[in-house]
Structure 1
Amino acid sequence: MICIRKTVFSILSNFSRCQRPAIMNEQLIIKNFGPIKEAAVNFKKVTVFIGPTGGGKSTLAKLVSIFRDVDFYISEYGPLDLLQFYGIESYFEKNSEIKFNRDRYGLKLKRNSVTYDKVTRQIINSYTKLTTKAFNERSKERVPSLVDSIHSAAKQAGLDNSGVDDIMNNIYPIVEQVIQDTSREMMKIIFSKMFLYTHPAYIPSERMFVSALNNSWAGLMRDDIGLPQSLLAFVNNFSQFRSSIGKLELPMFNVNYIHKDGEDLIEIKGSEKKLSLHETASGIQATAPLLVLIEYLSRNVEEVQSFIVEEPELNLYPVAQHDFIKWLVQKCCLGNNDLTITTHSPYILASCNLLMEAYKVWQQRPELEMEIDKIVPRASWINPDNFAAYYVDKEVVSIKDDRTNLIGGNHLDDVSGSISDAFRKLLRLKKQRDNA
């Protein structure tokens, strides 16, 4: 059985070593799906969605996470499995239409089916036929010799023909299962090079519950009380990986995270005192598990990682939001990795603009790199060509200014503008009263 697996992996070795281009052209087109009435989103290395609650930001983030997940393409349950995982299977309407394109590959999703465009179908079919043919040829060479070896061993053991038949009847189902497993691995490799990263890291806004419930998660998962599956997956990953981190600096809070003896602790710098995570400020509780998980995943340089983070600003003061965005870009955008954010905070947009402006100044004045780095660390600069930002409220509109290649000032000031407008109206009312 090991030989069969090695055969498949040797057949696919050249294909599996293919490198993705540095920048992928990835587009999601939606009509009438959940809160989204119409959308055309071009994803970049860093993509940000901002807008009111219920406008559809999370829907976009969940859909791209689904399309980047290998399970979407090879699950025996089809697309419905991941749609249920993210709780959006009920969003389909009769006229819903979702298309996903990545470079020259494309697909269309309906309620219970996935169809690929002509080019994609041809490529999938050609690789499938090629690998199946090679696999069958290798199997013809090796399986008979395996059978002969079994017969020979049985004869030496003094078994009669019925004993040999019993052995073979037990072995054939195992061989068939191995063939199915290797076929699944073959398709996984093919699709992973066409559409996706193996499993995107989706970090939900409900992560605040992780520290609040502390060590009660095992019982909650066991009792199946209906928590979002994406939250349970996040908790499971955090619980699994935190011991590998051990200690992690959280620079935006000037503290260290420590995992010791099954406990999540926060060490205040300059003090010997350590607090349990659930005893700390809400911003630390909401952020520390996310930081630990991303730190662990970002160390894996063998696989391309996709990070999708909901509301990074949770419970954070604006200055901490800015420091957090710098950290996210530095950790999540290494190599060909990418980062998608949903947010309600204009401070997140302002921080992204600053990181892009640092890159632009460096392009114009490369001799000032060291001075720029002192203001904005080099590792967190964003190339504006690799950045996209959208306002989402049932429909989706790009908020990047074509002239500056930054986020437009109107969108940064929307909230403060409406507050100022209301303030001016109150002042006018007061003035009218004073003049009366």
Structure 2
Amino acid sequence: MELTVRNFGPMKEAKIDFADLTFLIGPQASGKSLSLELLKLIIDQQHIIATLRNYSYILSKTDAKNILECYFGEGLSGLFKENTEIGWDGKRFTTQDLLKNLARQKASEMPKESVFYVPAQRILSIADGRPKNFMEYDTSNPYVLRRFSETLRIFMQGGLGNPDTIFPMRNRLKGAVKASINQTIFHNGKVVIDKSGDQRKMKLEIDGMKIPFMTWSAGQKEFMPLLLAIYCLSGPPTQVVDKSDYEWVIIEEPEMGLHPRAIQSVLLEIIELIQNGYKVIVSTHATTFLEFVWAFNNLKALPQEDFKKAMSEVFGIDINSTTANLFDRLKEKTIRTFYSAKHASTGKGVTFADISTLDAFSSDTDIAEWGGLSSFAGKASEIVSRYGK
């Protein structure tokens, strides 16, 4: 499925053909988040409108500005310009589509949500150790953060079965992944629900202490809402968050605060998501993900058993473990990488380029340098080879 964008916010032109797994890379403020929020708005517009109505937001039936500012954030309706052109799956999308959905939607109707969105600001969803209610935020916060926080709140209240411990948990993560997360993030600590105060809050139980959320390490705090999102989408089904409703999973910058070994654990969970049938989109600044794509590109021509063995070695996993089964038929999946940046030489705004081959010998520097992620390492190696003799 293909998203085409022209003259939307800072984006001059984008054409993104999504695969089973798609990576978006590029500098800050280069349109990655806006393109992903736009994608969710297009796919889930009926659910978004129903949610806003459910929380009593005032939505005009003649002007889409209210909807856009309730969604993207206060003051951001100007992202849509007179010459904005947006296409999705061969069909044109305009702000009038939002008004049409608003006009024909019944007040009691709650359409299905298809995109599970894990935003970059996810730490704000549990800033005091508990997921916040949708209405605890104002419209200066993007809808995707408010909705994510509300989803986690509902899931923790009814989807986990009111456990005392939320890491480690049985039946939620594969053994090797759970062990890796323990070793690289929680270091034999347990994430527990503390019920001693007036609210149920997460604390880290380690060395006989119960540590409040805000005093955790940066990596632990960044990872926790991502872990809860993974719980929502894996393990036993629940009635409060129906994982079968979702077709798309968007994860922004899953690497934040994490050691490369912990990033590998997250990557294994992403592989499990695509093996379970979700289309997954990841925005990232981490080379670990592209190193995986590069390895995938160079190994997928191998026979299945050799491919599985090679991938198991890449991740340091026992070939006979259940985790290694994640690589069964993985080479049949499609993976693409797109690079967003503002190219001063062309005089254009932000454009997106397909750099999926990640060919280090390509004449296109965007491809050869992996959208700039490998440029420093390449330059350092070249200089060391010249001066280090």
Deviation sequence 1:33-80 (CA, Å, 0-9, x none): 112111111112211100011111112211111122152697586765
Using the size of structure 2 for normalisation, the TM-score is: 0.68
2:375 aligned partner: 417
The answer on 1:112 being equivalent to 2:46 is no
Match of 1:235 among 132, 149, 162: 149
Partner of 2:82: 94
1:347 to 274, 279, 288: 288
Say if 1:260 and 1:383 are closer, same or farther in 2 by CA, change over 3 A: farther
Distance 1:82 1:423, change over 3 A: farther
Query: Shift of the alpha carbon at 1:180?
Result: 4.6
Query: Which residue of the other structure, out of 62, 68, 84, is the alignment partner of 2:43?
Result: 68
Q: Higher helix proportion, which one?
A: 1
Report the Cα offset of residue 358 of structure 1: 6.2
| Alignment match, 1:203 | 118
CA–CA separation in structure 1 for the residues paired with 2:146 and 2:282: 20
2:202 is matched with which residue? 264
Deviation of residue 96 (structure 1)?
0.9
| Residue type at the aligned position of 1:91 | L
Q: Deviations over 1:282-304 (max 9, x none)?
A: 11101111211231233445423
Per the TM alignment, residue 258 of structure 1 is displaced from its structure 2 partner at its CA by 2.9
Secondary structure of 2:222's match? helix
Q: How does 1:5-404 map to 2 (within 5 A)?
A: 26-71=1-46, 83-84=68-69, 85-87=71-73, 88-101=76-89, 106-113=90-97, 180=106, 188=111, 198-214=113-129, 217=132, 221-222=135-136, 224=138, 226-243=140-157, 244-245=159-160, 246=163, 247-249=166-168, 251-254=179-182, 255=186, 256-261=190-195, 262-268=200-206, 273-298=209-234, 299=237, 300=242, 302-330=244-272, 332-354=273-295, 360-363=301-304, 365=306, 374=318, 377-379=324-326, 382-383=330-331, 385-393=333-341, 394-401=350-357
8 Å CA contact retained: 1:313, 1:348: no
Shift of 1:409: 7.2
Corresponding residue number in structure 2 for 1:120? none
Deviations 1:200-240 (A, max 9, x none): 2211111223444446956x945848333322222222222
- Specify whether residues 369 and 204 from structure 1 end up closer, same or farther in structure 2 by C-alpha distance, changes over 3 A only: closer
Q: Distance in 2 between matches of 1:61 and 1:47?
A: 11
* Distance change in 2, residues 1:368/1:415 (3 Å): closer
Q: Using the alignment, how far apart are the partners of 1:263 and 1:319 within structure 2?
A: 28
The answer on whether the counterparts of 2:25 and 2:284 sit within 8 Å (CA) in structure 1 is: yes
Aligned pair in 2 of structure 1 residues 277, 359: CA closer, same or farther (>3 Å)? farther
The structure-2 alpha-carbon separation of the partners of 1:359 and 1:295, relative to structure 1 and needing over 3 Å to count, comes to: farther
Tell me the CA shift for residue 352 of structure 1: 3.7
In structure 2, what is the Cα distance between the partners aligned to 1:374 and 1:357?
21
Instruction: Measure the CA separation in 1 of the matches of 2:333 and 2:388.
Output: 48
Residue of structure 2 in register with 1:165 after alignment: none
With over 3 angstroms needed to count, the CA separation of the structure-2 counterparts of 1:69 and 1:371, relative to structure 1, is: closer
Unpaired stretches in structure 1, ≥5 consecutive residues: 1-25, 117-178, 189-196, 432-436
Q: Which has the larger radius of gyration?
A: 1
Residues 99, 370 of structure 1: alpha-carbon distance in 2 compared, 3 angstrom cutoff: closer
Which one is further off, 275-284 or 394-403? 394-403
Aligned residues between the structures: 323
1:371 deviates by 6.6
Which residue is 1:131 aligned to? none
Q: Within 2, Cα distance between the matches of 1:275 and 1:257?
A: 9
Query: 1:265 is matched by which residue type in structure 2?
Result: K
Structure 2 unmatched runs, 5+: 51-58, 169-177, 342-349, 361-365
Percent identity between the two aligned chains: 21
Name the CA shift for 1:284/1:36 in 2 (closer, same or farther; >3 Å).
same
Displacement, 1:397?
0.9
For residues 89-139 of structure 1, give each alpha carbon's deviation from its aligned partner in whole angstroms, at most 9, with x where no partner exists: 3211221100001xxxx43123434799xxxxxxxxxxxxxxxxxxxxxxx
1:344-402 deviation per Cα after TM superposition (whole angstroms, max 9, x unaligned): 12222113444666655453747959976626733267436422210111111111129
Deviations 1:256-289 (A, max 9, x none): 4333431212345xx5544333222111101111
